[in-house]
Amino acid sequence: MRGADLINLLLPDEILDEVLRRVGGAKRDLDSCALVCRRWHRLERATRRSAKLAASGARADEVLRLVAERFPALVDVSVDERLTIGAAGAGAGPSSSASRSRRPTYGISLSGRRRRMSRTSNFSVHMSPFPLDQPADNETERTCLTDVGLTNLARGCKNLERLSLVWCSAISSTGLLRIAENCKNLSSLDLQACYIGDPGLMAIGEGCKLLSYLNLRFVEGTTDEGLIGLIKSCGQSLVSLGVATCAWMTDASLHAVGLHCPNLENLSLESDHIKNEGVISVAKGCRLLKTLKLQCIGAGDEALEAIGLFCSFLESMSLNNFERFTDRSLSSIAKGCKHLTDLILNDCHLLTDRSLEFVARSCKKLARLKINGCQNMETAALEHIGRWCPGLLELSLIYCPRIRDSAFLEVGRGCSLLRSLYLVDCSRISDDALCYIAQGCKNLTELSIRRGYEIGDKALISVAKNCKSLRELTLQFCERVSDAGLAAIAEGCSLQKLNLCGCQLITDNGITAIARGCPDLVYLDISVLRV
């Protein structure tokens, strides 16, 4: 019947609530539902699940109070004081705002009288720091979120499960205590660049027994005592732990992790104060580890040998800026971690070709390999990968000046599934290397070459002829690439992204060929070109 509101007439709140919960798309779709009528507006508010808040300004505490009052069903909240009013407004667009499964960015502009929330406005907040945890800073007090706002959020959104606080410099232990008292279902806590005390972390451990994800980055004001207290209380539920650039952390914290976190699967550590003893404690106690990222210049071979001995389920490993471990370490990893699929080696200067030989022969599931700044690795290192790792999907080589073209002959022969290749500052790699890859790795979808001074049109012609699935191509400062190579790419590949920054031989003719041959192109960088 025309003009009749059959939906509101026939559907009870419970059914309409379930319908709204299943609305997909961007945040604007949810806002549109809320504008249908007052009933839909009320129900939509009651079911909104996630929000990303730009909580920086004159009245941020009030903003969080308004959000908590209007959206009591929030379970996922991210507060980032780096976001400005403009950024939050931009975040409301279709490209970056989120549905219930994503994170919409809300904003309120408050000046004098309270205004209605809109997806194009932003938050403005005033806060003061916790006197026992933070140094007094009058400027910070005027412009930052404080414990008052966090308390409003905790009391209004008691079903909160995931909380992220980024650069909230005025938050103290008091705010975390309120979260612990009210949000018993909290399972994920991300603290970045926050100044909190030990009581706050201890309170989270005591009050949030379901905590499974904890990330501490640039966190000041606490000590080992706070982290140890948290771990003792809820370590059994902890699955993922990240601690980076926290000067207070020592091996004592890692010893507690090893004792109380038997279910830990993901661990990321960046610390100058961690020694062998701390990593060994983790290896012995956390035998279910699957992902491990380490940047501990004080640790050496003994630490990684323990990982290889006790962590047989390890799938992903990233070793960064290690100055004390040698081929002996990777030999142990290779022997004990047969399920390894991802390996990243950054600035590990003592490693040689033998390291990758151990890995290649033992870790047959290796799919992603990144080598950055390991200057002692030569051609033989990559040849071993080509011979023994047929499932390799991604390969990144950054500043590897000793690797020559012949290494790619083996990769082309043995790694036919390769999809992504990144080459940066590999000065001895020329057209021949790319020809070997193109002829053997026909499934290549992404090729990125930066400062490949010996790579020119011959390589691109071979890629265009053999790699029909190529979608992304980066050629930054490849000074021998000209219009001829670009024309071949345009004819053979349907590119979506192309970066030609610094390719001085490219002219209008090459760009025209791309325009005609690649109708699906959505990104083009031609900076530093003479077109």
Q: Are residues 18 and 57 in the same domain?
A: no
Q: How far apart are CA 324 and CA 302, in angstroms?
A: 10
- Looking at 208, 226, 249, the residue that finishes a domain is 249
528 pLDDT band, cuts 50/70/90, is: confident
Q: Name the one residue in this structure whose structure tokens are 């414990």.
A: 147
Residue 40 has pLDDT above 50, yes or no: yes
Window from 102-106, 179-183, 399-403 with minimum mean pLDDT: 102-106
Domain presence at residue 236: yes
Alpha-carbon gap, residue 157 to 44, rounded angstroms: 15
Question: Could you tell me if 425 and 474 lie in one domain?
Answer: yes
Tens-place pLDDT, residues 16-38: 666 666 665 556 666 667 667 77
CB 189 within 8 A of CB 243: no
The string of pLDDT tens digits covering residues 260-289 is 999 999 999 999 899 999 999 999 999 999
3-state SS string over 123-184? CCECCCCCCCCCCCCHHHHHHECCHHHHHHHHHHCCCCCEEEEECCCCCCHHHHHHHHHHCC
Say yes or no: 61 and 100 in one domain: yes
Q: Which of 249, 278, 298 lies at the terminal end of a domain, its last residue?
A: 249
Q: Span 240-245, mean pLDDT?
A: 95
Could you write out the three-class secondary structure of 375-439?
CCCCHHHHHHHHHHCCCCCEEEEECCCCCCCHHHHHHHHHCCCCCEEEEECCCCCCHHHHHHHHH
Amino acid identity for residue 22 in this structure? R
3-state secondary structure of 446: strand
| Structural contact between residues 465 and 472, judged by C-beta atoms closer than 8 angstroms | no
Using DSSP bridges, classify how beta strands 497-499 and 213-217 pair: parallel, antiparallel or unpaired.
Answer: unpaired
> Is 173 domain-assigned?
yes
The yes-or-no verdict on residue 124 having pLDDT over 50 is: no
Report how far residue 436's alpha carbon sits from residue 91's, in angstroms, rounded to the nearest whole number.
Answer: 44
pLDDT band at residue 293 using 50, 70 and 90 as cut-offs: very high
For the cut 60, the answer to whether the pLDDT of residue 102 exceeds it is no
Q: Is residue 399 part of a domain?
A: no
Residue-averaged pLDDT of the chain: 86
Question: Are 33 and 110 in the same domain?
Answer: no
Domain check: are 31 and 140 in the same one? no
Same-domain pairing of 139 and 11: no
Comparing 10-14, 354-358, 375-379, 461-465, the range with the smallest average pLDDT is 10-14
User: Token pair of 434, please?
Assistant: 């790319």
480 and 459 co-located in one domain: yes
Half-sphere exposure of 140 (CA within 13 A, CB side): 18
pTM here is 0.83
Which tens digits make up the pLDDT trace of 447-461? Answer: 999 999 999 999 999
Per the structure block, which two tokens stand in for 264?
């830990």
| The last residue of a domain, from among 249, 277, 297 | 249
88 and 192: one domain?
Answer: yes
Query: 475 exposed, middle or buried (CB, 10 Å; 0-12, 13-18, 19+)?
Result: buried
Structural domains in the chain (count): 3
CATH number at residue 32: 1.20.1280
Domain that holds residue 530: 418-531
Question: Quick one: pLDDT at residue 495?
Answer: 98
122 shares its domain with 232: yes
H/E stretch holding 201? helix 198-207
pLDDT score, position 265? 98
| In-domain check, residue 18 | yes
Instruction: Indicate whether 531 and 426 sit together in one domain.
Output: yes
- Provide the residue type at 342 as one letter: D
Provide the pLDDT confidence category of residue 110 given band limits of 50, 70 and 90: very low
- Domain assignment present for residue 402? The answer is no
Return the CATH number at 172. Answer: 3.80.10
Q: Please tell me the predicted confidence (pLDDT) of residue 94.
A: 30
For the CA atoms of 405, 406, 408, 414, the dihedral, rounded to the nearest 10 degrees, stands at 170
Residue 403 inside a domain? The answer is: no
If asked whether residues 146 and 30 sit together in one domain, one would say: no
* 3-class DSSP assignment, residue 294: strand
pLDDT of residue 2: 61
35 with 131, same domain: the answer is no
- Residue 158's pLDDT band, with cuts at 50, 70 and 90, is very high
